[in-house]
A and B are shown apart, each in its own frame.
Chain A
């Protein structure tokens, strides 16, 4: 209950991108993303992932996180990016959504960034629709831009299907 509330609050903040927020920074194909820190349960190295036949392409499979089965989502596929080159292994950020755990596969995980409201921007109108769907706003950092990941929308493939 309280978890859900905090999640909503955090998401609210992220979406509005108007207040101070803490984000776990991740990188996918050179692009910096941020996941609200309170939603992140775990950061994992490369894992053994069991493929799930017939699952949507975004679902990389499932993995065992200390006795819990976690569904892994490949963020690259979700964002219509090519898969990670052979031989390179990514990392996982485990997030809680509606009481279920999901592991978001990313290229690498960086540090936690505390970002002020003054750095927040709305999604530019020209952003790719698939990206805009999962983006909860942009933060202007000194050197680059950070996209806030809206976890709920990342996990919602049906919206994408309708849009496509």
Chain B
């Protein structure tokens, strides 16, 4: 056998073996360009060598499959199982031809027209989709040596349709074969055309982008930052000098510097698609491995963000997509059984929103399995059964962000190792982002990641504490509060924990001085600034001495030897050239109070409630007192929270009192029998009304929450209105009115005494959907001497009207499901026996506009909820007015 031929056979057999493997891989990873170009190169080499050796039949087959591969590589064809099978088939054909060649030292006679035609059809299919149709011969082959190119040109492959090219001329001669003249004549112009097309394509791309080392860019960035700094200093000098001849050039310099800075910043931006590049392959792999059908849809891949941010979210994104594929999407059969399409969909969506990038990762799979999470939570000891029972689904779902949590029944190579969502969350929070999750059982889960556009330049608030300056990223600052001893806003202390009353919430405070162990100040500042920061769903205040200005800062990572200090996210150089540390609100939050699952969930709940129906949310003070469940009372009823020294309790008429603000304040305990200690301190809820104050002694103030009030269990024990789920726990709602009358038998009577005396016995209809308010107002009004009837809706009230009931005054809530207060008022005023009955609106909103609207609807007056005095006053006035008019 000819040496050359035997070498060809050996080499080609090896190549074919490799090809078999590679093609199988390609089917799984259709988007791996390296794999594809390797396959292409091998086939191309085989084809070239065949041509060189004058093996036209082999060459024709190899050429046809090369065409297909070329189309795939150029992105004109997608890798399908069909395509791969066809290419594999052609390889088989090549193998069989090779086997015969080895035996006979000549190509066997025969025709591969059918196979070649199939291959060409496939290639043509892609061609049809391509904008510029061109012959199938791919030209530029990155890895193919020029040597391979030459023989191919010498022995051009037959164009479609591939006629069997003189199979008789099978002499294994190393000399260049004489190809059919006809095809030769046809070929060159086409090839030229293709070459040109490819070249223009290539050069167009090449001219528009170049590769630059990232270090170089980072260096540039540093230099530009320095330039900006110097510019700032120059501008500062310029400001102090009048009529300087440097003025104009410096302005110009300043302008150019700004543009340069922006330009360099842009070089750091990359499309998020870069972080997604590997995902299709991963999903394809997974769907094979897991035998699932998964479709990965990606939107907004060209959304740009900072390279650094991109690097940071790459892994979390990958992890979440894997999770979706592994845990989320069901087996095709299960999906079909549930009436879903067999193919599950994972959707990635990225877009800009107000200086942030939002990335959504959603699947239409089975959603989170609450029961499994519960079991796992119990098994790992994160929570107790009783706590779990009180939690909402949302809260339970949050457990997946806890370390060591995986609900996958078994550990697969894909996921289920229990390192995952906690790392995802940590990584995202590290770059100042947040991750939220929505999951609906059977419908799928969606994760929403919100991350800043860039980490390089951020707007930061410069603050001072104990003589040191720090920067706080503006993005996590919600608001600034100034607190001083003699203003309305003061810092209060619960034991040693400072808190701030911010609107209707208690805000936990963190002293930066203590946190950073800054040492004592020379003198105690007369006022403190509180930076209200929000980390995820957890809000807290950072106490500092002074607040300067906001400044655009270039964030630089801290030195490696300082990386373990979690309080700082980086450092920077200010305009004046000094180095300043950048505080990390995440680190501070983590260091000062565990952002517990329940807490964040409650906040989320309340945030959702705020967005939805604000009026349904009530601020409640949670506390513990006596036995049983935690207790709650509407915050609006409480005037102050105090802590009293038990030793100061005195007794008047055998009832405990304490001197409070120059007056005697009676103290009441939740359980009448409960004895108060004689030493130590105890928190007291102070209820105040006109001249009266009353202190309700409690064991512990737990929290202030905003929650929907839903009385689940009504209780007929005095002092309790009922039980409700508050902050995920069964909580007793106390009837403040009961304790008030305990302290002062005349608490409510005080008002009904004199002027309102004549209202006694008047009939009041109270329309309110909230059982809480009905339960709260009924005793109040009853005590004031009214005869109260309550209904939960306007419809019910109207049916009472039809039934013939009569009332002297109607109090109606405004925000009610179904018929709202305005509609109810209109209905009442339109016709019927109640046309003349005065109407009083009750609402948590009492803006002038609401007032007007209420009047227009027919309300005589408008009272804010919880304003007992105003309500009683209004009632009396309204009734008086009626009387006067009558």
User: What mask results when residues 59 to 75 of chain A are scored 1 for a CB within 8 Å of chain B, else 0?
Assistant: 10111101111010000
Contact residues in B for A51 (Cβ distance below 8 Å): 468
Taking CB atoms and an 8 Å cut-off, the chain A residues in 9-36 that contact chain B are: none
Contact residues in B for A128 (Cβ distance below 8 Å): none
**Is B579 an interface residue when CB atoms closer than 8 A count as contact?**
yes
Contact residues in A for B560 (Cβ distance below 8 Å): 98, 100
Q: Which of A49, A50, A100, A157 contacts B580 (CB 8 A)?
A: A50
Taking CB atoms and an 8 Å cut-off, the chain B residues in 546-588 that contact chain A are: 556, 558-562, 565, 567-568, 571-573, 577-581
- Chain B CB count within 10 A is highest, among A48, A49, A63, A64, for A64
Contact of B573 with A67 in the complex, beta carbons under 8 Å: yes
**Is A155 an interface residue when CB atoms closer than 8 A count as contact?**
yes
Contact residues in B for A55 (Cβ distance below 8 Å): 562, 565
Contact of B226 with A62 in the complex, beta carbons under 8 Å: no
**Is A56 an interface residue when CB atoms closer than 8 A count as contact?**
yes
Contact of A59 with B561 in the complex, beta carbons under 8 Å: yes
CB distance from A20 to the nearest CB of B (A): 31
Number of interface residues of A (CB under 8 A): 24
Contact residues in B for A46 (Cβ distance below 8 Å): none
Contact residues in A for B567 (Cβ distance below 8 Å): 53-54
Taking CB atoms and an 8 Å cut-off, the chain B residues in 452-468 that contact chain A are: 468
Contact residues in B for A52 (Cβ distance below 8 Å): 562, 565, 568, 581
Q: Can you name 22 A-B pairs with beta carbons within 8 Å?
A: A48-B578, A49-B579, A50-B468, A50-B571, A50-B581, A51-B468, A53-B517, A53-B581, A54-B567, A55-B562, A56-B561, A62-B559, A62-B581, A66-B226, A67-B225, A67-B573, A69-B559, A69-B572, A69-B573, A69-B579, A98-B560, A155-B561
Contact of B561 with A53 in the complex, beta carbons under 8 Å: no
Q: Closest residue to A102 on the B side, CB-wise?
A: B559
Complex CA distance for A72 and B567, rounded to whole angstroms: 19
Contact of B579 with A54 in the complex, beta carbons under 8 Å: no
Q: Closest residue to A66 on the B side, CB-wise?
A: B226
> Known contacts A63-B579, A64-B577, A100-B560: does B565 contact A54 (CB below 8 Å)?
yes
CB distance from A109 to the nearest CB of B (A): 22
Inter-chain pairs besides A71-B558, A71-B561, 9 sampled, C-beta below 8 Å: A49-B579, A52-B568, A53-B581, A54-B516, A67-B223, A67-B226, A67-B573, A69-B579, A157-B561
Complex CA distance for A48 and B560, rounded to whole angstroms: 21
**Is B518 an interface residue when CB atoms closer than 8 A count as contact?**
yes
Contact residues in A for B517 (Cβ distance below 8 Å): 53-54
**Is B229 an interface residue when CB atoms closer than 8 A count as contact?**
yes
Q: Closest residue to B580 on the A side, CB-wise?
A: A50
Contact residues in B for A54 (Cβ distance below 8 Å): 516-517, 565, 567
CB distance from B544 to the nearest CB of A (A): 13
Complex CA distance for A56 and B563, rounded to whole angstroms: 11
User: What mask results when residues 88 to 123 of chain A are scored 1 for a CB within 8 Å of chain B, else 0?
Assistant: 000000000010101000000000000000000000
CB distance from A74 to the nearest CB of B (A): 13
Contact residues in B for A61 (Cβ distance below 8 Å): 579
Complex CA distance for A52 and B560, rounded to whole angstroms: 14
Contact of B222 with A64 in the complex, beta carbons under 8 Å: no
Contact residues in B for A69 (Cβ distance below 8 Å): 556, 559, 571-573, 579
Identify the A interface with B (CB < 8 A).
Answer: 48-56, 59, 61-64, 66-69, 71, 98, 100, 102, 155, 157
Contact residues in A for B223 (Cβ distance below 8 Å): 67
CB distance from A34 to the nearest CB of B (A): 22
Instruction: State the main secondary structure of chain B at its contact with A.
Output: mixed
Contact of B565 with A71 in the complex, beta carbons under 8 Å: no
Complex CA distance for A102 and B562, rounded to whole angstroms: 12
Q: Closest residue to B470 on the A side, CB-wise?
A: A53
CB distance from B468 to the nearest CB of A (A): 6
Complex CA distance for A100 and B517, rounded to whole angstroms: 27
CB distance from B572 to the nearest CB of A (A): 8
Complex CA distance for A63 and B579, rounded to whole angstroms: 6
Q: Closest residue to B230 on the A side, CB-wise?
A: A67
Q: Closest residue to B559 on the A side, CB-wise?
A: A71
Complex CA distance for A66 and B567, rounded to whole angstroms: 26
Q: Closest residue to A58 on the B side, CB-wise?
A: B561
CB distance from A157 to the nearest CB of B (A): 7
5 tightest A-B CB contacts, nearest first: A67-B226, A53-B516, A71-B559, A50-B579, A62-B579
Q: Which of B222, B518, B561, B577 contacts A68 (CB 8 A)?
A: B222
Contact residues in B for A98 (Cβ distance below 8 Å): 560
Complex CA distance for A102 and B229, rounded to whole angstroms: 21
Contact of B579 with A64 in the complex, beta carbons under 8 Å: yes
Complex CA distance for A67 and B233, rounded to whole angstroms: 13
Complex CA distance for A69 and B226, rounded to whole angstroms: 11
Q: Which of A64, A100, A157 contacts B559 (CB 8 A)?
A: A100
CB distance from A108 to the nearest CB of B (A): 24
CB distance from A110 to the nearest CB of B (A): 27
Complex CA distance for A136 and B266, rounded to whole angstroms: 46
Complex CA distance for A53 and B581, rounded to whole angstroms: 9
Complex CA distance for A52 and B517, rounded to whole angstroms: 10
CB distance from A122 to the nearest CB of B (A): 28
Contact residues in B for A63 (Cβ distance below 8 Å): 579
Contact residues in A for B568 (Cβ distance below 8 Å): 52
CB distance from B800 to the nearest CB of A (A): 67
CB distance from A101 to the nearest CB of B (A): 8
Contact residues in B for A66 (Cβ distance below 8 Å): 226
Contact residues in A for B571 (Cβ distance below 8 Å): 50, 62, 69
- Chain A CB count within 10 A is highest, among B226, B560, B581, for B581
Complex CA distance for A48 and B580, rounded to whole angstroms: 11
Complex CA distance for A63 and B559, rounded to whole angstroms: 12
Contact residues in B for A64 (Cβ distance below 8 Å): 573, 577-579
CB distance from A162 to the nearest CB of B (A): 15
Complex CA distance for A66 and B226, rounded to whole angstroms: 7
Q: Closest residue to B567 on the A side, CB-wise?
A: A54
Taking CB atoms and an 8 Å cut-off, the chain B residues in 508-538 that contact chain A are: 516-518
Complex CA distance for A26 and B60, rounded to whole angstroms: 77
Q: Closest residue to B465 on the A side, CB-wise?
A: A53
Contact residues in A for B225 (Cβ distance below 8 Å): 67
Contact residues in A for B226 (Cβ distance below 8 Å): 66-67
Q: Closest residue to A100 on the B side, CB-wise?
A: B559
Contact residues in B for A62 (Cβ distance below 8 Å): 559, 571, 579, 581
Complex CA distance for A66 and B233, rounded to whole angstroms: 13
Complex CA distance for A57 and B27, rounded to whole angstroms: 58
Complex CA distance for A32 and B572, rounded to whole angstroms: 34
Q: Closest residue to A53 on the B side, CB-wise?
A: B516
CB distance from A67 to the nearest CB of B (A): 3
Contact residues in A for B229 (Cβ distance below 8 Å): 67
> Known contacts A50-B578, A54-B567, A66-B226: does B562 contact A71 (CB below 8 Å)?
yes
Taking CB atoms and an 8 Å cut-off, the chain B residues in 712-767 that contact chain A are: none
Contact residues in A for B572 (Cβ distance below 8 Å): 69
Complex CA distance for A109 and B208, rounded to whole angstroms: 51
Contact residues in A for B580 (Cβ distance below 8 Å): 50
Contact residues in A for B581 (Cβ distance below 8 Å): 50, 52-53, 62
- Chain B CB count within 10 A is highest, among A49, A50, A51, for A50
